[in-house]
Structure 1
Amino acid sequence: MHPFSLFPRGIVTLLFTSLLFSLTDAHSYFQITSPSQGTQLQNGVANKVTWIKGLLDDVNAFDIEMSRLSVDGLILVARDVPASQGTINLFFQDVPAADDYYLLFLNSTSGIMFTSSSRFAIGDSSSNATATSPDPTAPTVTISGGPDPLKNFVTTFPPDANGVAVPGWQGVRMQVVAGVMSVVLCVLGGAVTVL
């Protein structure tokens, strides 16, 4: 007798389907939509960067780093960017012109990378590249120079609450109750040991 024959076929199918969706991570989706493959951004102007993300991916904020294939080092662009924002403007000032740049969206503290952009180019301000029009409602981050290991993030956004309750009397009361219960349980445990 097969172990799965004890359960109705519909329940087994539902179980394996949910397992398949959890393995393929179908509910999470994070993608940089601009710059796309072959895009050339410009020095001297604000260039729009856009992304879309999944509703259930639990990413509230991320860090943006910019990397090149042919040169070691990263340009630390922005820290704690709100993921729900969807757009940020990058103003390049004297960034070396090249065609092998990538944007990385990650949590730099734990090293978890959420997504990376397609390969794009950055041209001089005199180049004839078509600039993407900046989003006037999105913040603009100014990036100057090439990779430098001694530079910090250019911009740090204010922290997001990430669903953490703001401390108040309710939180203090729960901490006091937890502390009192810990002491009571320790005393009871000691009394049981002695007796």
Structure 2
Amino acid sequence: ISDESDYFRHIEAAHNIRKSIEGWAKSGNHDAAYYAGLMAFDEAKRFDEEFRIYAGHKDERYLEAGRKFLEASDREIRKAKEFLHPAAYAHRADSCMLMGDILEYEKMGNLESKALVFYYCASREYYIAGHRDQAVRAYTAMLRNGHPQSPMIIEMHARLFTQQPPNLWRPISSPAAGTSPAAAAKPAQ
């Protein structure tokens, strides 16, 4: 049988680590902002799972506990968005992707178009950085959240799927030096 203080010591250490990451995020560190937003989003999803458990009961005390979990989830989502906004607006691909995931998770009203914008940012930045697989993953999320004829979707489709092959089947050669293309095309008599 072990002492419970061991358990609480680890919880306290994890809490201190999270608070220090949040402090770095508030000071402008975009990498810390991504991880702080990721932790807050994971916590919000956990609170939503707890809410679903309590929401199925008929007892008023369970329903009240479920409402508390829902409030905690909303608070964590707001915190995640607060951390991610500066990094996403600085065009950090991972932060844009996570911001799109959060907005897609909420699925309220007109937020889907906002999720599309963040997924577009992520897809474009992944593509520019040379991470094609992640760019395609963000592009797939764009298709889930926007109309297929959206200019952002069309642009990313063109970037991802219509590329010039590395080896052309016919080499491109310039006309002979010193002759004009019209003169080179005329047969000699």
TM-score band, normalised by shorter chain: under 0.3
Structure having the higher strand fraction is 1
Structure having the higher helix fraction is 2
TM-score normalised per structure 2: 0.21
